[in-house]
Structure 1
Amino acid sequence: MNFGFLRIKSTRIRILLFFLCFTCHFQLQAKQIQFSLVPDREDIIQYEIELWKTEELGDEIPFRVLANPGPISLFIPDGYEFFRIRAIAKRKVRGFWTELYKVALFGKKPKPITKPIAKIPVKTDVLVPIESREGKPELFLTTNQITIVPTSVEKKIRIQYRINGGPWQTTTSPLLNFSKDGNYRLEYKVTNELGISDGMQVWEFKVDTKPPVTTYSFLDPPFQKKGTTFISSKNGLLLHSSDEGSGLSNIRYRTSCGDDQVSDYNVWLESSWMEILSGCDKNILLEISAVDRLGNEEVPKQIIIQTQKKAK
């Protein structure tokens, strides 16, 4: 006897026999189950059912039953725990077998055991890698808060976490604040109601909220009189910016000449000072602001230069 199921291919005949739809509510009554065999093609005339004691199909001879389309009450003899079905069309063309169904679970929807997944909702700008002075990438936090958000179908979960080796905390969705600059090590794991955990997660990152600090001085000590500093084009302006966190990105400046509007920011270069002096013969307002590699910007420092008119 030839055993197959649902989809038949031959050199001359190709018959697609799709497995039945279970239309009635399944009821498990001792060793008897009830369901309906509903053909989806007119040429399906019968169904063949095999009962098995184990899932090792090659180690035993199954108990076979034939059934017509329609409602059926399948009696399961003692010792048989599994069954499968295939359709039989006209001319005894047999389809493929279904999967092996377990009698005890047939018609029931087992509760899925899911592994919880936890993640820090990271956008591209929340944790950013920045190369250190030694050339190694380090993660920097660009916001002062992190929320550990479990993404799972399970509703009853708990999150255990600790920061920098401190005591373990347990909650359902922690909101963590990192307001102080420094190095941090965040350890956490998410566990569902069945005790299944996604494993320990470790995040090591730095927090840098302080902008760079810029100081300036004039080369060739200028002349001073009564608290007023007098400079010429020979007195170069030296800027020095330092940043203890992510490191200095650049120093920016903008100017206004007389009553003109303030210009856009430009990057400070060695030639910038001479260009500023030579490009304006009126009073000059110079604003200097350094930016670190994380985007923290210094409050602009102002230098006001009043042009001294030459005596005739």
Structure 2
Amino acid sequence: MNDWCYQLKYFYLLCIVIGFSNPLVSKQIQFSLVPDRDDIIQYEIELWKTENLEQEIPFRVLSNPGPINLFIPDGYEYFRIRAVAKRKVRGYWTELYQTGQFGKSVKTKEKPIAKVQAKTDVLVPIPTREGASEFYLTTNKIAIVPVTIGKNFRIKYRINGGPWQKDSSPQLNFEKDGSYRLEYQVTNELGVSDGMQVWEFKVDTTPPESSIRFLNPPFFQRGTSFISPKNPLQVFATDTGSGINTIRYRTSCKGAPFTEYYVWNDSSWADIQRNCLDNFRLEISAVDRLGNEEIPKQILFQKMKQD
């Protein structure tokens, strides 16, 4: 019998708890199972008391596609579903659903992030929007050293098509952001030269710049901005070099020490207001893909007391 993979589509219609006189039935879950294949004729549902599937026997239910009223006996906290096609070909089981949370959106707990580490390789590839890669220099100095150790080596080099220069151990500085083309060739004391070496790379030492705005403009009075708690705060960042990696933030509520850094996302503003019911400071810092970090910006939010 061959297993086959399928997509299980379901729509939550209602999740309710109903009391019954029968002690074997404690709650009922209503939902719909919509098959994504024409040959699916049935669904198997297994009810489990625990997540340990090896040490118990499940309570099994068969159901046709469409609306389903699943009665959950007392003590059964989990269930899973699989489709059955014609000729009794069965698909894969879904994950275990928890009966008490089925149909409810579960918010994952946000985890703090570590400080972004700067790149340590001399040249690192950074993907572009077009799918290609551009190399970026991670240090502002390059030393050209021959691979073969010997005496009287001469190195001929030039940058961005400029005049050729010669040196035995050139130390090159790239302090300005921009695109560079480095060409060099090594010649030994016998006049034997290797092939021309070409490096094309960019330099990015400038950190990103973050900015904030409220969805609705604040009200200004005597140099103070007034906003409603329901006015969403939006955070943006721009970078002219390698591009934005993350926008980090942390908060200090009512003079307490700052929290760890978190990644800013669409729910961050609501999370901040929910976790800090008093005055707080918000610190924001953008980081690019080379690890250049913006000097953090701080904003003080003071909540007005209503009379």
The aligned amino acid for 2:278 is K
The alignment partner of 1:277 has SS state of helix
Correspondence for 1:77:
none
Correspondence for 1:140:
136
Residues 1:268 and 2:264 are matched in the alignment:
yes
The aligned amino acid for 1:126 is V
d(CA) in 2 for partners of 1:223, 1:178: 46
Listed as ranges, the gaps of 5+ residues in structure 2 are: 1-118
Give the 5 Å matches for 1:1-312.
Answer: 125-311=121-307
More displaced stretch, 176-185 vs 214-223: 214-223
Cα offset for 1:160? 0.5
Cα offset for 1:124? 5.5
Cα offset for 1:159? 0.5
- Over 2 Å off, 4+ runs: none
The aligned amino acid for 1:243 is D
For normalisation by structure 1, the TM-score amounts to 0.59
d(CA) in 2 for partners of 1:153, 1:287: 52
Instruction: Give the length in aligned residue pairs.
Output: 189
d(CA) in 1 for partners of 2:264, 2:248: 5
The alignment partner of 1:232 has SS state of coil
8 Å Cα contact 1:129/1:138 also seen in 2: yes
d(CA) in 1 for partners of 2:130, 2:205: 21
Percentage of pairs with the same residue:
62
Q: Deviations over 1:41-79 (max 9, x none)?
A: xxxxxxxxxxxxxxxxxxxxxxxxxxxxxxxxxxxxxxx
Instruction: Describe the shift of the 1:211–1:153 C-alpha distance in structure 2 as closer, same or farther (beyond 3 A).
Output: closer
8 Å Cα contact 2:120/2:138 also seen in 1: no
For normalisation by structure 2, the TM-score amounts to 0.60
Cα offset for 1:288? 0.6
d(CA) in 2 for partners of 1:266, 1:308: 27
The aligned amino acid for 1:217 is R
d(CA) in 1 for partners of 2:305, 2:206: 41
Q: Deviations over 1:248-274 (max 9, x none)?
A: 111110111012111111100010011
The alignment partner of 1:274 has SS state of helix
8 Å Cα contact 1:233/1:274 also seen in 2: no
The aligned amino acid for 2:302 is Q
The aligned amino acid for 1:163 is I
Listed as ranges, the gaps of 5+ residues in structure 1 are: 1-122
